[in-house]
Amino acid sequence: MLSMTEAQYIKELYEVQGVSLREIAKRTRRDFRTVQKYAYREDWNPPVKLKMEPTDYPVLGKYIPVVNEWIEQDEKEPRKQRHTVSKIYSRLQKEHGYAGSYSSVRRYVALKREQMKKFREGFLPLEHPPGRAQVDFGKFKYYDALGIPQKGYALIVSFPNSNAGWMQVYQSENQECLLTGLKRIFYHIGGVPTRVLCDNMATAVAKILKGKERVVSDGFMRFMLHHRFAADFCNPASGNEKGNVENKVGYTRRNMLVPVPTITDWEGFNAKLLKLCDEDMNRHHYERDVLIGELWEDEKKHLLSLPEYEYEVFRYEAFSVDKQGFITIDTVRYSLSPEMNGKTVQAKIFFNKIEAYYDRQLIKTFVRSYEKGGEVCDWREYIPTLMKKPGAIEHTRFFRQMPKLWQEYLQMSDSRERKSALTVLSEIVSDGNDELCDEALALAYENGRADPDSVRQCYLLIAKPEDYPRPLELSTEPPPLNYQPDLSVYDGLMRGVAK
């Protein structure tokens, strides 16, 4: 088939310039019959039948809407769970009493699928097809638990067709935060967009090639394949290509992050944001005289179904423990134990926590820190080392992290008593009863005995009362004692005359 430009050229040579068909064939290097076909053509209406009419299928005709619904729904499902022709045929027989032939079903299904394929590959006159999303991060300010201002990142997923959008906030815009936010929004709305448009964020794009070509990062590619959506990326420095989400970033920041929020519970705050985004759809679309929520109800029918298995968002890396017992992840140092110096540990890095494994065993879980160059130090891991050098405890970086009463107690103890006190503290920590450290010491102070052995007994009384000996309970009152010793005997003993 010739392009319309070639067809127009042949028609002009023949009709306007009066060139012979053979000369036109020579100039265009086209077959004579092809040139004749376009030179003589009078009807230029599109010859393609845009849809199959029920009249083309006398018996199957009334069942075509049902078949269409099944095939179109299949587009949202994993390929291995889509209808085969045999399945469609058997369902029509069992559920709708179809009495026609299998060949009619097979012929119609083939035509329908070919039509849908051409529709996907062809030009779509819609500026914002339903089911497609745009994604972007926006910066915002918040206060932490201490009232200190911090910088946060708001992930926005918007659907330009309906102007619906949802937001989740994080302490970074790394890949773990990006994918966790996308996943939460997908599960909240009950589906996955067919295509996602975003800029060339490093968490998704490993390398920018010519034009629209991109090398997608492994983590983002796995997430795409698992959820079955496609991704498009803007040209560099062309944020206007995703104007809907750019506007949505500003809108949600002004309406949902003002006044400047204090965030201490990220999970709870994000759950609240999803509800606010749902409520925000109870307003009219900026161009159409209809609620955004009503438009969204129509658009969500075009979403892909959620995957059968939930995707676990984390990255997996190996780290060597330094001589101080630390591993470094994204400029932040996390303490394990000096005894692990030189060993290699594996880490599962989530957006909010880090799990450290050694020899396939979980050895430590940290709350993930986003303080650049920060240090997450656990004083409990260093007690065995301090027991060898008790005099150095006040000069360590983690001394102020220890329970307050124990800081004072250890400072007042001499070197011998300090080592015994650290032994008691190690026993409490090994039992997993860190919260009882100060309580055991306070009880010892109340009873007037704060030596290490007394502190240990107070701890056992609190932590394991069922193992602690109780006073003997007597069935009757003990008889009163009437004992009056003759002390003169002792006087005689001292003089050496007692008998």
pLDDT in tens, 282-303: 998 887 888 999 999 999 999 9
CATH code of 132-302, in short, is 3.30.420.10
Q: Where are the domains of the chain?
A: 4-40, 54-121, 132-302, 315-377, 382-467
pLDDT category at 498 given cuts 50, 70, 90 is low
The predicted model gives 229-246 an average pLDDT of: 73
pLDDT at 37: 85
Residue 348, strand partner residues? 316, 355
pLDDT at 236: 65
Token pair for 447? 């009873």
Whether the predicted pLDDT of 237 surpasses 60: no
pLDDT tens profile 409-422:
787 887 778 888 88
The predicted model gives 199-223 an average pLDDT of: 77
pLDDT category at 467 given cuts 50, 70, 90 is low
pLDDT tens profile 366-390:
989 998 888 887 777 777 777 777 7
Whose CA is closest to 197, among 149, 232, 170, 173? Answer: 232
Whether the predicted pLDDT of 33 surpasses 60: yes
Whether the predicted pLDDT of 333 surpasses 80: yes
- Range with lowest mean pLDDT among 178-192, 412-426, 449-463, 485-499: 485-499
The predicted model gives 126-153 an average pLDDT of: 88
Share of the chain above pLDDT 90, in %: 28
pLDDT tens profile 394-445:
667 667 777 778 878 787 887 778 888 888 888 888 887 877 888 888 888 8
User: If you average pLDDT over every residue of the chain, what do you get?
Assistant: 83
Instruction: Give yes or no for a contact between 166 and 156, defined as CB atoms under 8 angstroms apart.
Output: yes
Whether the predicted pLDDT of 180 surpasses 90: yes
Contacts of 134 (CB under 8 A, 6+ apart): 157, 158, 159, 160, 196, 197, 198, 242, 244, 245, 248
Whether the predicted pLDDT of 142 surpasses 90: yes
Helix (H, G, I), strand (E, B) or coil at 154: strand
Whether the predicted pLDDT of 126 surpasses 50: no
What is the C-alpha separation between 87 and 77, in angstroms, rounded?
Answer: 15
pLDDT category at 125 given cuts 50, 70, 90 is very low
Number of helices (H) and strands (E), helices first, in the chain?
A: 17, 14
Order of all β-strands in the sheet with 332-335: 326-329, 332-335, 375-376
The predicted model gives 24-32 an average pLDDT of: 89
Residue 149, strand partner residues? 143
Helix (H, G, I), strand (E, B) or coil at 319: strand
The predicted model gives 114-132 an average pLDDT of: 65
Instruction: Give yes or no for a contact between 352 and 366, defined as CB atoms under 8 angstroms apart.
Output: no
